[in-house]
Amino acid sequence: MSFEFTLHARDGRARAGEIRTPRGNIRTPAFMPVGTAGTVKAMLPESVRATGADIVLGNTYHLMLRPGAERIARLGGLHRFMNWQGPILTDSGGFQVMSLAALRKLSEEGVRFASHIDGARHLLSPETSMEIQRLLGSDIVMAFDECTPFPADHATARRSMELSMRWAQRSRDAFGDRQGHALFGIQQGSVYRDLRAQSAEKLTEIGFDGYAVGGLAVGEGQEAMFEVLDYAPEMLPADRPRYLMGVGKPDDIIGAVARGIDMMDCVLPTRSGRTGQAWTRRGAVNLRNARHRDDPRPLDEACTCPACRGYSRAYLHHTIRAGEIIGAMLLTWHNLHYYQQLMAGLREAITAGQLNTFRQEFERQRAGGDIEPL
């Protein structure tokens, strides 16, 4: 069985559909929880599934260093290793190697670097990234690219994009033909429309199973991001899924979906959960704040996640303050649940042609909540 994308509905530029993979279907727009090192932090995989997630993301950079891609392959692949039977998308390692690795040196070949864990020397290149993602058993493989830093002047952004396009071709060549596995290309070009167009043209010419909008959510701010999203996704083939990497907050997600994005990932709900920040329909809530310590109410009385069904804000406050693992477990679960509820609401609204109404209701709830903003 192969990889297929079907669109069920459109509402303006927004799309609702389904990606079919041998590991299961992915309802789009989809939010992918991040399982960096073989675990969506503080969650059991069955709990991740219970929140409504169809797919999780794994990080090539982290996994190649520890426990190692060859080791995971010998152990039966990443799905078996982390006990997640649904689809997995892996990034290429390109972003992490530039932000986390030591002694990194970028050349036409790729990036040579030292592990941030043990200092061992490695090379990430289109060819090694494809090989590592193959060893992991990834269902959706990302082309190896350079995430152009922000800000970048036009000449710098062009050179970076052109390098990524040469790497995209090498990724495509190295990936080969793998039945049931998909390869996604990544559009670059920073905030420059002409470069985004050139990148989209090149990627389409090479041909991929899906296309990511890369180089956003890197500090440019929501307004600048939305400006790019007002034109960039539509440059990519309409019959393939469009993936916005590393996004975002709930209102970023809604704005991206409204602009034609089908897939997203972000560490925000999981990372926030471990530090006491909850995402709710009424906005963000910092459970560390002392005003919660005597509050018997659930975080959100309308939420059906385990944190909201079984515990008071006072308990969440206490466990987060005391550094108890259950605090991270409950808030992570709540945040992922909220994010998946948001995605389900978006899919439903698009299908019903009611996305504008959904957005107005989202803003109304956020503005009128009794939970103070952060």
List 54, 91, 209, 252, catalytic entry: 91
370 given a catalytic annotation: no
251 given a catalytic annotation: no
Shorter beta-carbon distance to a second copy: residue 52 or 67: 67
List 145, 209, 252, 265, catalytic entry: 265
Got the DSSP string for 114-161? E-TTT--EEEE-HHHHHHHHHHHT-SEEEPP-----SS--HHHHHHHH
Q: Please report whether residue 101 would count as binding a second copy according to CB under 8 A.
A: no
* 3-state helix/strand/coil string of 297-328: CCCCCCCCCHHHHHCCHHHHHHHHHCCCHHHH
Tokens of 52: 């409504």
- Residue 63's Cβ-count burial label (10 Å; 0-12, 13-18, 19+) is buried
Stretch that binds a second copy, among 42-50, 136-144, 215-223, 337-345 (CB under 8 A): 42-50
Shorter beta-carbon distance to a second copy: residue 259 or 334: 334
Stretch that binds a second copy, among 103-111, 218-226, 228-236, 322-330 (CB under 8 A): 322-330
Q: Please report whether residue 296 would count as binding a second copy according to CB under 8 A.
A: yes
Pairing status of strand 140-142 against strand 88-90? parallel
Q: Which of residues 8-37 bind a second copy (CB under 8 A)?
A: 37
3-state secondary structure of 22: coil
Among 7, 73, 267, 314, binds a second copy (CB under 8 A): 314
**Bridge partner residues of 27 (DSSP):** 18
Among 28, 39, 129, 164, binds a second copy (CB under 8 A): 39
Rounded to a whole number of angstroms, the minimum distance from the CB of residue 68 to a second copy is 9
Residues 224, 221: Cα–Cα separation, whole Å: 6
29 preceded by a cis bond (ω within 30 of 0) = yes
Q: Please report whether residue 51 would count as binding a second copy according to CB under 8 A.
A: no
The residues assigned a catalytic role are 91, 265
What does the binding site for a second copy look like in residue numbers (CB under 8 A)?
Answer: 37-39, 41-45, 66-67, 71, 74-76, 80-83, 274, 293-294, 296, 306, 310-312, 314-315, 317-319, 321-322, 324-326, 328-330
